[in-house]
Every structure is written in C-alpha cells, then in structure tokens.
Amino acid sequence: MKTSPHLFKTRPFLRKKVWGGRRLEKLFGKQLEDDDSYGEAWEVADLKEGQCTVGSGPLEGLPLRALSKGWGRSLVGAGAPDDDRFPLLVKLLDANRDLSVQVHPGQEDARRMEGAHSKQESWLIVDADDTAEIICGLTDEVGPDEFRAAVDEGRVETLLNRIKVRVGDVIDINPGTIHAICSGVALLEIQEPSDTTYRVYDYDRPGMDGEPRELHVDQALEVATLGPCEQAVRRVGGSDEMLSVVSETPAYRIERIEVDQPCRLSWSVDPDSPQVLHLLDGSMVVEDGIGDQVELGAYDTAVVPAVLGSVRAEVPERCTVIVAGLAVEQLVRGLHRQIGQPVAS
C-alpha cells in the first residue's frame, strides 16, 4: 500500500436476511439493489464473511482488509489483538421480524472450541416500534437438561427474558448470554469481529433458501449462562455533557459526542486504538489534519487510523456522533469546542 494512512468514509456491505425489511434504505439511506428484505449494513467489517469498502478518497472501492494488511498497526493501533485485521465490527441492523435466539462464546470458550471466536456485542437502539422488545437471558435459572428438553419440545420461548426497549437504550450482550433482537427494532451494533453464533431457536421458520436454518444446541449449551442476564438496559443522552461514555467492555469502548449548535471540534486520538465515527444525527465535516476530509450525514461511518493523533470537525448545525474503539482508558481525549459558524475555507 503506497498511500499513507488517512481518514476515510466506509461503504457498507449489505446483507439480505429472512428477518430483514426496508429500513436500511428508508431510515438509514443505504442504497439497496433490489426489493428484497435486507437485515444488515456492515458499516465497518473485515471478516471473511464480508468486507466494507472505502467509500471516499483515492482508495475508494478497496476492501477494509487491504487497508488492515497494508497499514497494519498504523491503522489498528498498538493495542489491537491482531495487527492485520480490523478489531471491530460495526453494523446497522433492521429487525423487521424476530431474529433467531442465539449465544456467542467468550474468550475462554474460544480457546477450547474449534473455529470459535469470542464475541462481545453492544446494541444502541436507534428506532423502535411502540411494542419493541429484546431478549436478554432467561427469566429463571434452569439446568442444561431442562433447557434442552424445552428446545426439543418447542417451548424454549417460555424461558426467555423479554425487555421493552426505546430509542436511546443501550445494552451490552456479554458472551454466554442467550439473546435475540425482536421485531420492530433497528439498532447500531458494535462488536468483536467474529461471526461465531450458536443458534438455539429460530421460530421454526424457513431461511432464505426455504430450508430451516441449522440450530447449534450442543455448542450453545457449552457456552451459555442458563439464567437471568446480569446486564441492564441503560439510556444514553439527555445530559448536558458534550462527551459521555456509552459502553465499557473488556473488548472495546464506546463514547458519544453531542453538540447542538454550530461549532468546530477537535480531539486527540489514542495511538493504541483506531476510532470508528458513526453519525446518529445531524452532519459534520471531519478532517484528519493531513489534508483529508470526509463529509458525514446521519448513519454514515468513517474510520480514523490510530496513527493520526488528532481529529478536527466542523459542525454546521448540530450532531450526535458515536465513537467506538478498543478498550483504552479514553477514546476522545482533550475534546475542544469552539462555538460559532465555521469559517468557510
């Protein structure tokens, strides 16, 4: 890779899903190729199952993999577990119908189970019907035999803990927690870059190919905590703080910047982590200080390589931006705001 690391916008990898709908286009402004049901926009993804591509600048169209390999630690930071794979997976997701009930392995599970990768995930609800719910954990503790019997007898739904959610709610799904996103929810999902999913229930419905999707009950029982979830739903926003912490997990950290008037922002970037910027609201023009800039509207995503050191942004009116990165002490350091109309350059 000849070009040196710079800021870039991403173009998502779009996935059709049996439970998907049309909100990726209607709400998030993603261009869908046909009239099918789409479930996921992989805004930042460097997996063999799918790659986002560069959506701006001289490298437009290149898969993220090429940058991870070419830029290495300059992109992913000194703290990344692997120097040639991007350490986060960020998706927008439209649950028009219920998603399968599933569980992911943790780091210890992944060491003993072949082909498994640890997966922690966090959900930030961005759209929700009045009756929207998620499933997190079980209502009571049950033994593995009892759980398996419930699966075999088609009554696993009676064991699941359902929680009502609203826009602005956040929940961390720890490895081992049985979970599902239910119909009527659209969310931003930030997670470890893994597609290791053990499905325990799929509502006895056919998949995209007309056949029922495979269940993985044995593997699920090896990793699942069969009881109530320890994580609670939290609300973000609503405070006067310009910068707030959305989530802190062993694998990644999520922060949020919210400003409600025209201004110029600047902050420092921890060299141990890249930053993923995802705009929830408003617009901003982000600059990396070495001549590259990208314009972000609602539900657009940009990646700031760890090596860049700092970021500046012009906010014409207002914006809410989610900043995701590795589990460093603080992602957005020394946030500075200069109020007033940005000077045209």
Active site members: 199
First to last CA, the chain: 31
Query: 156 by DSSP, 3-state: which?
Result: helix
Task: Report how far apart, in Å, the C-alpha atoms of 168 and of each of 96, 171, 206 are.
Answer: 19, 10, 32
Residue 116 structure tokens: 């498994």
Q: Which two tokens stand for residue 67?
A: 């940058």
Give the whole-angstrom CA distance, residue 324 versus residue 303: 10
Q: Is 157 helix (H, G, I), strand (E, B) or coil?
A: helix
What's the CA angle centered on 165, arms 248 and 236, to 5 degrees?
40
CB–CB of 130/192 below 8 Å? no
DSSP bridge pairs for 160: 138
Q: Is there a contact between 82 and 160 (Cβ–Cβ < 8 Å)? A: no
Identify whether the C-beta of residue 20 lies closer than 8 Å to the C-beta of residue 38: yes
Cβ atoms of 310 and 266 closer than 8 Å: yes
Q: Which of 243, 244, 312 is nearest to 284 (CA)?
A: 312
Enumerate helices (H) and strands (E) in the chain, giving the number of each: 6, 26
Task: Give the CA distances from residue 71 to residues 27, 32, 65, 195, in Å, rounded to whole numbers and listed in that order.
Answer: 33, 31, 10, 24
Joined together, the tokens standing for residue 85 give 């794979």
d(CA 104, CA 180): 11
Say which residue the tokens 């069969």 belong to: 226
